Amino acid sequence: MAWVVAKRAAAASSSSAMKSVSAAAAIWMRSYAKVALGTDIVSAAPNVSLQKARTWDEGVSSKFSTTPLNHIFKDKKVVIFGLPGAYTGVCSNKHVPGYKENIDKFKAKGIDSVICVAVNDPYTLNAWAEKLQANNAIEFYGDFDGSFHKSLDLVTDLSSALLGTRSKRWSAYVVDGKVKALNVEEAPSDVKVSGADTILGQI
């Protein structure tokens, strides 16, 4: 009898342990879920905010405020594209210019915002956007600690180029926070699927 009780207790303990492991796994997966079609970006990156591009003085006067994802995506049609970093070659010469040149086409399709995001501080992004003369067409946001891209599993290691952990090159069409189209490049130097022309055809 004692053996049966012990066996049942062991089984109950094992079941409880498995439930705990499953719960922990679910929490981990929820926190760092890979973005895909249908993903709710706000839910996939809980408690994450981005930093709107601005000058240092504007940062100080705003008390270094950040923008919750809900404010960026809720009740809006948004085209967002991520890139490895400000002032890098392909990003400056091809990726951003493509979106800037097509801004009127995006607006004609009812897009509320075209957003560029990178693992950079908002001050560097602001200076870069001004240099590209793109800040009046595109909204630039920093992901200074990479938390947004990590949450969506959209980071890549570019230490070989002395850049460290950066965003993959990608684009998405997002409606009320839900991903309707997603394009991720195989290589950070490519703009084969994440450019403006591709996403325009997916809206």
Active-site residue, from 91, 114, 132, 174:
91
Which CATH number among 1.20.950.20, 3.50.50.60, 3.40.30.10, 3.40.350.10 corresponds to the domain 39-201? 3.40.30.10
- From the CB of residue 113, how many other CB atoms can be counted at a distance below 10 Å? 16
Domain boundaries, the chain: 39-201
Active site residue 91: yes
Q: 0.95 exceeded by the pTM?
A: no
Digitized pLDDT (tens) for each residue of the chain, 203 residues in all: 443 333 344 444 434 433 333 333 333 333 334 777 888 888 888 889 999 999 999 889 888 889 999 999 999 999 999 998 889 888 998 899 999 999 999 999 999 999 999 999 999 999 999 999 998 999 999 998 999 999 888 987 777 776 666 889 999 999 999 999 999 988 887 888 899 999 999 99
Spell out where the chain has E strands: 49-52, 67-68, 77-83, 113-118, 139-142, 155-157, 165-167, 170-175, 178-184
The SS3 assignment for 2 reads: helix
Which residues have C-beta within 8 Å of that of residue 91, sequence separation ≥ 6?
83, 84, 85, 118
For 168, which DSSP code?
P
In angstroms, the CA 96 to CA 90 distance is 9
